[in-house]
Amino acid sequence: MRENGHLFGLHRVIEPAGGLPQASKRLDNSAPHYDNEVVIDVATLNIDSASFHQIKGEVGADPDKIAERIMGIVAERGKMQNPVTGSGGMLLGTVVEIGPHYDGPVKVGDRVATLVSLTLTPLEIESITKVHLDSDQVDIKGRAYLWPSSPIVALPADLPERLALSALDVCGAPAQTARLVQGARSVLILGAGKSGMLCAAAAREVIGENGSIYGFDLRSDNMLSLHQYGLMDTFRTGDATRPTDVLDAVLDMTGGELVDVVINTCNIANSEMGAILSTRDRGKVYFFNMATDFSKAALGSEGVGKDVDLLIGNGFARGHAQMTLNLVRRHAGVREKLQELLS
């Protein structure tokens, strides 16, 4: 074991020294672990979809060649961060050792998933045992190291693993939604996919039956199911990239009012203004959508003279993983739809 592990993992950064692990070109991925680290015997890498597709495009849909490319990246960088897309993914494995200064929510023997990106996770691969071409997953033999500031979670025994992972992937959104809708009387879910459905459930638990939850998405099936389970009052279909279409749909659903909070969980670009126009004066817009453009939101809001709070979807919130798993447990409607999206 090595001493003096740094809270943010600076001890693992080789280049550029002094920077944070995520921004680094190269991490030290070697044993032994530091005193504040958890050591994970890695079973599976969930490669970020953009990254996996880039590699497949580069070397072809050949498991051996993909494995070779992944081994190459990790040998060079000490982490699985695709140099072209910049993106990572997450991993699944078992805790095999815990340093005396690691204080996280897991113990030796737990089957765990990381809630931070592979772009900052020191990873040593011994061998790649299988490449799953259609699920962007890679089974490996190897080890990863994480420190206290990098959230990880023990997988629950009562939920199918893939279901749990799919909910955990977006668990920042429902946790933050629950806070933002405190005191709100109307909420719009813009983009009712995985995270959007979990946010609807989180919002309903906070605002109850007296507040209204509205939905807007390209397709109606998820929203219909949310409606049947009492998690969405009214919804419309349409294209979130057309701002005035979103606004018109909202005014139509509410009888002419703007909403207190908009939760943007679309997965496409140019959905900023639909969200902003639908929000009442001094209301809040929460952007979980990673395709959000900072200056489109900042200047767009100014351009229409909207005095609203614009929030960036932080992927972390205290207790986000357990809270989200509990939502999945409590809401059969959401659970069924998440399950359906997996198959």
Ligand X SMILES: NC(=O)c1ccc[n+]([C@@H]2O[C@H](COP(=O)([O-])OP(=O)(O)OC[C@H]3O[C@@H](n4cnc5c(N)ncnc54)[C@H](OP(=O)(O)O)[C@@H]3O)[C@@H](O)[C@H]2O)c1
Which chain residues interact with its own copies by CB under 8 A? 8, 10, 18-23, 115-117, 119-120, 148-151, 172, 242-245, 270, 273, 277, 281, 287, 290, 292-295, 297-318
Residue 327 near residue 202, CB atoms below 8 Å: yes
Both structure tokens of 339 = 């399950």
CA distance 204 to 177: 10
Residue 197 near residue 174, CB atoms below 8 Å: no
Which ranges of 78-220 does DSSP label H, i.e. alpha helix? 161-168, 172-180, 194-207
> How many residues interact with ligand X (rule CB under 6 A)?
28
**265: amino acid identity, one letter:** T
Closer CB to its own copies, 20 or 96, in the complex: 20
Considering only 189, 313, 317, 321, the residue that binds ligand X (CB under 6 A) is 313
For residue 2, list its beta bridge partners. 34
| Partner from its own copies, ligand X, none contacting 20, C-beta within 5 to 8 A by type | its own copies
Cβ at position 116, least distance to its own copies in Å: 5
Residue 222 near residue 196, CB atoms below 8 Å: yes
Cβ at position 315, least distance to its own copies in Å: 3
> Does residue number 266 form part of the binding site for ligand X (CB under 6 A)?
yes
Considering only 291, 304, 332, 342, the residue that binds ligand X (CB under 6 A) is 291
CA distance 71 to 24: 18
| Partner from ligand X, its own copies, none contacting 274, C-beta within 5 to 8 A by type | none
The SS3 assignment for 322 reads helix
User: Which residue stretch of 37-45, 54-62, 189-197, 225-233 sits at the interface with ligand X (rule: CB under 6 A)?
Assistant: 189-197
Axis-axis angle for helices 194-207, 161-168 (nearest 10): 70
Closer CB to ligand X, 11 or 337, in the complex: 337
* Residue numbers at the binding site for ligand X (CB under 6 A): 169-170, 172, 191-196, 217-219, 239-241, 265-268, 288-291, 298-299, 302, 313, 315
